[in-house]
Amino acid sequence: MPFVEECVISGCVLLGALFALIGSFGIVKLPDLMTRLHAPTKATTLGLGSLLLASLMYFYQLDGVFSINELLILLFLFLTAPISAHFIGKAHLHSQVDPEIELPPTGRPCGWSTYEQTSVGDDDGRPAGDRGGDYRGELG
């Protein structure tokens, strides 16, 4: 394997491992759950992205063929990491936080949707006008 490529791949591996380590260190170090939530959603995602990039380049060197599976994992992680963080934060709000004391006002006449069960946040709560135009031709 050429020297420059090996350097780049090794650098990506080290960088990815470093970010994964920092993300998990943040989980241990930071003081409460909401701050802890920042560490894995960001640092770990980038760490794994860097590792996957290294793997992509490595197998391209080895076989001469692009393997798309790595990109698939990367895409999946980037799509799902915000969703799981959002869910964990919401569940934390639901079980631990007092909305009157700790949360800022919404700036709207209603409260935050986690605490208001009769919200429009349910699946069929939207006004009917939003539903119109069921087929608008995604391809143009």
Contacts to another protein from residues 47-66, by CB under 8 A: 47-48, 51-52, 54-55, 58-59, 62, 65
Map the footprint of another protein across residues 11-40, applying CB under 8 A.
11, 13-14, 16-31, 33-40
Binding to another protein (CB under 8 A) within 68-97 occurs at 68-73, 76-96
In angstroms, the CA 27 to CA 81 distance is 16
Q: How far is the CB of 35 from another protein (least distance, A)?
A: 5
132 Cβ contact list (under 8 Å, min separation 6): none
Is residue 102 a contact point for another protein (CB under 8 A)?
yes
CB distance 66 to 53 below 8 Å: no
Q: Does the footprint of another protein cover residue 122 (CB under 8 A)? A: no
Minimum Å gap between C-beta 5 and another protein is: 10
Distance of closest approach, residue 123 Cβ to another protein, in angstroms? 9
Instruction: Please state, in angstroms and rounded to a whole number, the distance separating the CA atoms of residues 18 and 11.
Output: 10
120 binds another protein (CB under 8 A): yes
73, 53 in Cβ contact below 8 A? no
Q: What is the DSSP letter of 129?
A: G
Please, what is the end-to-end C-alpha distance for the chain in angstroms? Answer: 46
Q: By CB under 8 A, name the one of 98, 100, 128, 135 that touches another protein.
A: 135
What crossing angle do the helices spanning 3-29 and 45-63 adopt, rounded to 10°? Answer: 160
The least distance separating another protein from the CB of residue 20, rounded to whole angstroms, comes to: 5
